[in-house]
Every structure is written in structure tokens, then in C-alpha cells.
A and B are shown apart, each in its own frame.
Chain A
Amino acid sequence: MKQKKTLLTVISIIVLFIGVYFADQNLDAYKTRILNLCAIYVVLGLSMNLINGFTGLFSLGHAGFMAVGAYTTAILTMPDAVKGQNFFMVPMMKPLDTMHMPFFFALLIGGILAGVVGYLIGAPALRLRGDYLAIATLGFAEIIRVIFTNMQTITNGALGLKGIPESSNLWWTFGVAVVTVLFIGSLINSSYGRAFKAIREDEIAAESMGISLFKHKVLAFTIGAFFAGIGGGLLGNLLGTIDPLMFRFFLTFNILLIIILGGMGSITGTIISAFIITIAGEALRFLDESITIGNFVIPGISGMRMVVFSALLMIVVLFFNHGIMGTNEFTWDKLFNKFGRKPLVKGGNKQ
């Protein structure tokens, strides 16, 4: 039974990549870009859901980790000539200006650095709980942004970086997304994942069952930060330009919206809602632009799209606070149960 499910998973991943191949061949640049964004938001959503949804730590520092990942990846992949053009005010710091490496390693180092920052922030901040933790992580993200604005010789300050090689294509983004889903999926089903959920449900009870709160909280936080850094790196090398203003609280809000809509503590929900929110974000662009119907021109109101999004967040929280999936997951078992004629006989060791 277990082998059959693994086989099904492998087959569906292959089907996904065949889909990616056709999308890569046939779709225009605009649609490709939206699909790329969808996959990146899956990575970002999952990384935030691991911290907020599965471990129950309300952290608002995601934009900071993304900034670390995005800047690291961008700096390590930019050609020397482009670096020279960017840093016309103050030359870049010495070893960095001629340093570059393949996208994969740059991305990995970006993720690891974000993870290290996550650990350094998490180790002291995770002593706090609830809203205090939220405000402290928000503060840390803001501090990271201010530091990046002021580190002229490394980050080019407020000017940002332009001309980053656009290495993120569908293969990279969907590949990373699949790896993230598989990794976080198996993490959640491991003993670590059960410890995370126990901490989410009741910290005191979890601690008295012998779960080390500090170790598990910091672990979840660091892994979340790592994937946030990877997502940030992909995003930076997709957009081609980054600047500190991009990593304001607004970015965290977007990801928060995704995990709330999908359901805090559901991988499936996060994947679905990352696609919904990203595609809806593009589809609702018409709200910001003027529409012409016959002779009438309805002037667009810039910012209307964001009003819809913030209203959507409030509606979900006020009326459907479990989101699309709640804490449920898509599993092959459930699919069989739904379509199978006789109840499934489960194997001895349920995972």
C-alpha cells in the first residue's frame, strides 16, 4: 500500500513536470511570470505556515528573511560589470565585487544565511509568546530592512540592485516548490512535526510531555527562515530588481493572507491559496486601471485592488476562520476513500 502511494506521488510529480515543460514551451512571458510567482508563493506560504500554522508561533518577520535570501542570491549571481554599474555611488565591498557562483549554490547560500539570521533572531525572541512575539519579529524584520538600506557598500542602499540575472524559470520555481512541499510534508509527519503541533495546541502540556519547547520552536523558526530565504532568492532573480522598500511589512501581509485563506496548518490549503491569491492579484489588476464600456469610461482607482485584498482577509478571519482547508490535508487515502467502493484496509504502520 505504501509503495503504491509513493508511486502515485512520483507519477503526479512527473505529470506536473510534463505540465511545466508544456507551459515553458507554449505560454507567453506574462503567463510564465504569473506561474513562477505562484510557485514562489507556494514556497513562501509553506515556510510561513510551518512557523505560524504548524508550530503556532505568530511571527511577522518573513519579509526580513526574504530580504536576506534575495540580496545574497542577487549579489552572488550578478556579473561583475553589472555590479560596477549598480555601485556607481560607492564601490562595492572588496571580495564581493568579483564573487559569483552558479544559481543553485547562490540560492542555497541565500537560504542558509536566512536560516542563520532566523536562528539568531529566534533564539532570543522565541522566549516571547503570542502578540509580543509578533511585534518583536516585526521589529526584527524592520531592523533588517533599515540595515540593508544603510549598508551602502554591500547592498547599494536605498538604490537597490538592478540587472540581476533572471535565472528563475519555471523549472527552478516549480522544482523548488516540489522539494519544499515534500520536505515540509515529511517534516510535519515526523516526530518533529508532531512536537510542533503539540506546541501549537498547548505549550504547557507539550512541555510536560517532555518536548523541549526551545529546541523545537527554534528548529521550526530556522527551517521556516531558510525556505523564506530560498523563496526570496527566487523572487529577486525572477523580478530582476530588488530594493529595501520591497521588503516592507506589506510583503509579509501577502503571505499571511495566503496562509489564512488556505488554512493555518494545511500544506494543501497553502498550495491552493498561493495559486488563488497570485492569480487573483493579477486578474484584479483591472480595478486599478480604467475600463471602457461603449462610450463610458470608468476611471480606475489605484489602490482598489489592495482594498479588495484587505477586505478579503478580514472576511476570511471574521466569517470563515478555518480558511479553505482548515488543518486538513489532501492524502491518497482520502482520495481512495472517496472513490473506492469498499473501505480501505489500512496497513499496520500508519505514518
Chain B
Amino acid sequence: MMNLSTFMQHLANGISLGSLYALVAIGYTMVYGTLRLINFAHGDVFMMTTYFAFYGISMFMLPWYVSFILAIILTAALGMLLEKGAYRPLRDAPKISIMISAIGASFLLENLATVIFGGRPKAFPSVKLLMDSINIGSVSIQRLTFVIPIVTIVFLIGLLYLINHTKTGMAMRAVAKDYETAGIMGVNVNMTISQTFALGSALAAVGGIMWGLKFPQIAPLMGVMPGLKAFIAAVIGGIGNIKGAVIGGFILGIGEIMIVAFFPSLSGYRDAFAFIFLIVILLFKPTGITGEKIAEKV
């Protein structure tokens, strides 16, 4: 039986992993909400951020905070570019085409990263301020483990404010409901969708930077698994729903850490848990925890 302090340590790890999933999941859910599209390339956008931040610090010798902010801005731009290049031309095409385009974009980003940055993993620079450990009773936990959930909550509150209380957010909600009607009502649909992508990518960028700090090894394929798991988190929470994505992220992050902690013999199957969870959710409650059932019109 594990003692309380080990349990608390696992819980803290689970919460910080869950926050990272949540940040990435928000991007999936926002894009799905507006375009009804699984943005397969979202995980790779997340990967690109870590490289931007890495080169900002190691090549251009920028202070870490400047480099991180630049990386977030560049990632937001990349998200907009992705939408413009890969998804906008197909907006009225059959859904299957957009999805194939998304898969293509994902592979293109991964392979471009391999060509440009090299396939060998690189060490993400560490930030001393965040890496120190603090002691609570007998538990020693890295400061980063606390910073991650706090940053996530701050960004989440900011995002919810933006969506619920600003004009841009109102336009986003209108486009998500029905983009044709929103267009008739005078919303600039293209710009709003661009903003949605920029916002989703920026949040993935925040997640990516913190992921790099927590697991300091970056590689061109590093975005695939976190991307898929964040997507699963979004589905668990009810895709299209931002609060749901966050809840799903926490459930998945904590669940994953706890299962491995309690059943160490199953640790080889760690990556399979998320998928099994996804399939169970899809089969019994396909619209997720917060979702409502939508009837299909004929």
C-alpha cells in the first residue's frame, strides 16, 4: 500500500500532466466547435512550439521569457497559416477531404521538422527558476508541478472571459453555431475562424513550452501522442465544449498517472489506456460528459 506522501506526489504529477492535456485539448475543441473538424495537425503545432522556444534560447540567446512569448506568437501564426493553407480551400468539400488534408498537414509538419531540425532528439533548455524543488512536509515537488496548473487556470479564465464577454468571442460563438448565418449577420467568418485557430494554437503553444520544461526532450514526433491524448480528453469532456475539454484533460492526466502508480505491472500498456478509455466513452456516451445528444436532420 502506498503512503500518503507518495500518493500526493502522484496526484500532483497527475494534475500537472492533466493541465497540459487540457491546454492542448482546448485547441481541438475550439476548432471542432467551429469547423466540425479534427485538427490532426494540432499535436504537430504543439511540437513546433518547442522547437521555436528551443532555437530562441539556444541559437538567438534570448532570455527565456522573451523566447517563450515569441514562440507563442509564432505558433499562433502557424495555426492561422495552417487553416488558410490546408482547411479554408476545403471548407465546403466533403468532410472526409478536410480530414485527409488535416492528416497530410500533420505529416507535412512532422517531416518538415525532421528535415529542418533533424530527427535526433534535442534537450529543451531548463529554466532554473521553475526547476527548483520545494518541500511540503516530507514531499519534495518541483516548482514547475505547481506552476503548470496555475498557468493553465489563468489562461482558462482569460479564454472564458474572451469568449463570453468580448465581441470577438461573440463572433466565435456565432460562427460555431452556424457560420453561414453568422456571415449573413455581418460577422467576418474567415477572420473569426483565423482567430479561433490562432487562439487554439497559442494555448497549445503554452502547453508545449511547459511540456518541454517538464519532459525536456524534444523530437519531431513528440507531438503525436500528446496530441492524440489531448484529443481524447476533448472527446471525454464533450467535444466543442471548452470546460469539458479541461475536465477531460484532468481526468485523463490523473487517471493515467494513477493507473501506472497503482498497477506498475501495467506500465507497458500506459499509452493504450487513453485509447481504451476513448473507445468506452465513444460507445456509451459519444457526446462526452458534458455533451448533449444531437439528432440528425434528414
Query: A-side interface residues toward B, CB under 8 Å?
Result: 56, 58, 124-125, 127-128, 130-132, 134-136, 138-140, 142-143, 146-147, 149-150, 204, 249, 253, 256, 260, 264, 301-304, 306-307, 309-311, 313-314, 317-318, 321
Contacts and interface: CB of A to CB of B under 8 A. Distances in A.
Contact of B269 (A58, A125, A132, A150): A150
Most chain B beta carbons < 10 A, residue from A124, A131, A146, A253 = A131
23 contacts: A58-B96, A58-B99, A132-B286, A134-B38, A135-B235, A136-B279, A136-B282, A139-B275, A139-B276, A139-B279, A146-B271, A147-B272, A204-B298, A302-B114, A303-B114, A306-B111, A309-B107, A310-B104, A313-B100, A313-B107, A317-B97, A318-B89, A318-B101
Contacts of B282: 125, 128, 132, 136
Contacts of B228: 138-139, 142
Most buried by B among A124, A127, A130, A135: A135
Interface string B258-289: 00000000001101100110110011001000
Contact of B108 (A125, A301, A307): A307
Contact of A307 (B96, B100, B112): B112
Contacts, number: 110
B259 to A, nearest CB: 14
A143 B107 contact: no
Given A131-B99, A307-B108, A143 B275 contact: yes
Contacts of A307: 108, 111-112, 115
Contacts of A253: 103, 107
Interface of B: 37-38, 86, 89-90, 93, 95-97, 99-101, 103-105, 107-108, 110-112, 114-115, 119, 224, 228, 231-232, 235, 268-269, 271-272, 275-276, 278-279, 282-283, 286, 296, 298
A150 B268 contact: yes
Contact of B272 (A131, A146, A317): A146
B99 A142 contact: no
Interface class of chain A by DSSP: helix
A301 B119 CA distance: 11
A207 to B, nearest CB: 11
Contacts of A138: 228
A314 B86 contact: yes
A136 B278 contact: yes
Given A302-B114, A303-B115, A124 B283 contact: yes
Contacts of A143: 272, 275-276
B57 to A, nearest CB: 24
A249 B227 CA distance: 14
B107 A142 contact: no
A132 B296 CA distance: 15
B275 A142 contact: yes
A314 B101 contact: yes
